[in-house]
Copies of this chain bind each other. A is one copy, B any other.
Amino acid sequence: MVSKVADEPQMLSKKAGCNSHGQDSSYFLGWEEYEKNPFDPVTNPTGIIQMGLAENQALARFMSEQRGYKVAFAPSNIVLTAGATSANEALMFCLADQGDAFLIPTPYYPGFDRDLKWRTGAEIVPVHCTSGNGFRVTRAALDDAYRRAQKRRLRVKGVLITNPSNPLGTAVPRADLEMILDFVAAKGIHLVSDEIYSGTAFVPDSFVSVLEVLPSTRAMADRVHVVYSLSKDLGLPGFRVGAIYSSNPGVVSAATKMSSFGLMSSQTQHLLAALLGDKDFTRKYLAENKRRIRERRDQLVDGLKEIGIACLDSNAGLFCWVDMGHLMTQHGRSFEGEMALWKKVVFEVGLNISPGSSCHCREPGWFRVCFANMSAKTLDVAMQRLRAFVETTTNSKGGSALRRAPAAPARSMSCPLAMNMKWALRLTPVSADRKAER
């Protein structure tokens, strides 16, 4: 198959390719000339002082560490942004024009509707994943989404995945990454891999970066872009440290210009370079962080099991993907039922969880439950509240629908890495009431 190359004009957005950013004007060219004249306190005391590189180098090293040193990152291919939110939007501006589409597997992070679509005018076409295979992306689902985009006369510019997945809490298996790369190569489109949860992959070797499996051709290097952030992996959301990593010179150039709209403060950059430069600290931090995430995840999963609630088996992330379909006493297995249950959980039980429908999940009854932003004690309180609620709910359903918390641990869901559909046939009614996507 012959894939399109990066310098074909339609590969990037019109914005990325055009000169309406005005940065080739003599105003900016003057500054560039000045920058060729670097500061030296003795030999060139009036030269420019460069303050923008240390962070790129430190971040490149850290991103490599995060991926077990299996991938090397070139500092010059990193564009720093004010958080991953900004990185994702900038990539959309670079790759898609108004009305162009990206395919995104469901369930997906609800913020993407704002981050990717709102100001760019790009469209999201969902790639419907289901509990039948643990919500893994399939070629059939990608092809189906592509056809739906074509029906809507949308030009598909790429696929965007979150790896590890938010909200599933699972890393994308290597075989799936290879399948997705084949798909984008065949269609001549981009792949954006949002890897902001890579450092939370607490099961050894579960996370594989797309850059590890990327074929080493220019055409493929030009079409794969990674989004990264320190918000999750170092627990520093307030720092607003995001990054785009791309080997496509057009993307790096346009995204660098766009980074003017969301630069990090220099004092934050300075602190960051010092923090990331301390290898001993980052190594220990990452290991301890994973250990604690796993411990808290186990606490949540065990607590839910005891009251008869099953989760998708996770290996990453700060949340679990939880099936509470059997607790939907109103409206049956429908999205109305899901919303009714969600309202009860938020307003009566007092737990803020996210309904699957807000993540564009096609099967009602799933919820994203975060466990990492609280102490073990608070998580215990949350489980006690949920237990009381479950007992009331299952009792009030009467004999016909009575489901008590089983004495023995409830069924746990299969790990998506080891495909096993038996549990899904047991837990997910084939006749599940499905609503049009919203």
Is A263 touching B82 in the complex (CB atoms < 8 A)? yes
A231-261 to B contact mask, C-beta < 8 Å, 1/0: 0000000111100000000000000011011
Complex interface: chain B residues within 8 A of A391 (CB): none
Least Cβ distance of A95 to chain B in Å?
13
Q: Which residue of chain B has its CB nearest to the CB of A123? A: B20
Tell me the complex Cα distance, A149–B111, Å: 37
Is A354 touching B26 in the complex (CB atoms < 8 A)? yes
Least Cβ distance of A418 to chain B in Å?
30
Complex interface: chain B residues within 8 A of A240 (CB): 82, 263-265
Picked from B34, B114, B374, the residue with its CB within 8 Å of the CB of A260 is: B114
Counting CB contacts under 8 A, is A281 at the interface? no
Complex interface: chain B residues within 8 A of A28 (CB): 110
Complex interface: chain B residues within 8 A of A23 (CB): 114
Is A25 touching B83 in the complex (CB atoms < 8 A)? no
List CB contacts (< 8 Å) of A84-116 with chain B: 85-86, 89, 93, 98, 110-111, 113-115
Q: Which residue of chain B has its CB nearest to the CB of A355? A: B26
Is B264 touching A30 in the complex (CB atoms < 8 A)? no
Least Cβ distance of A354 to chain B in Å?
5
Picked from B25, B239, B261, the residue with its CB within 8 Å of the CB of A266 is: B239
Counting CB contacts under 8 A, is A342 at the interface? yes
Q: Which residue of chain B has its CB nearest to the CB of A32? A: B352
Is B263 touching A83 in the complex (CB atoms < 8 A)? yes
Tell me the complex Cα distance, A305–B28, Å: 28
Is B114 touching A27 in the complex (CB atoms < 8 A)? no
Is B258 touching A119 in the complex (CB atoms < 8 A)? yes
Counting CB contacts under 8 A, is A346 at the interface? yes
Is A352 touching B30 in the complex (CB atoms < 8 A)? yes
Is A110 touching B267 in the complex (CB atoms < 8 A)? no
Is B262 touching A261 in the complex (CB atoms < 8 A)? yes
Counting CB contacts under 8 A, is A384 at the interface? no
Is A22 touching B110 in the complex (CB atoms < 8 A)? yes
Is B267 touching A34 in the complex (CB atoms < 8 A)? no
Interface residues contributed by chain A, number (CB under 8 Å): 62
A10-50 to B contact mask, C-beta < 8 Å, 1/0: 00000100001111011110110110000000000010000
Counting CB contacts under 8 A, is A276 at the interface? no
Counting CB contacts under 8 A, is A285 at the interface? no
Is B118 touching A15 in the complex (CB atoms < 8 A)? yes
Complex interface: chain B residues within 8 A of A359 (CB): 27
Complex interface: chain B residues within 8 A of A121 (CB): 98
Counting CB contacts under 8 A, is A117 at the interface? yes
Of A34, A51, A267, A346, most B-chain CB atoms within 10 Å: A267
Tell me the complex Cα distance, A113–B28, Å: 12
Complex interface: chain B residues within 8 A of A381 (CB): 46
- Which residue numbers of A lie inside 8 Å of B, CB to CB? 15, 20-23, 25-28, 30-31, 33-34, 46, 51, 82-83, 85-86, 89, 93, 98, 110-111, 113-115, 117-121, 238-241, 257-258, 260-268, 271, 339, 342, 346-347, 352-355, 357-359, 374, 378, 381
Closest 6 CB pairs of A and B: A238-B266, A22-B113, A262-B262, A27-B110, A27-B358, A265-B268
Q: List 7 A-B contacts (CB under 8 A).
A: A22-B118, A27-B354, A46-B378, A82-B82, A86-B261, A261-B261, A262-B262
| Inter-chain pairs besides A22-B117, A26-B342, 8 sampled, C-beta below 8 Å | A20-B118, A26-B357, A27-B354, A30-B342, A31-B352, A51-B238, A82-B263, A85-B260
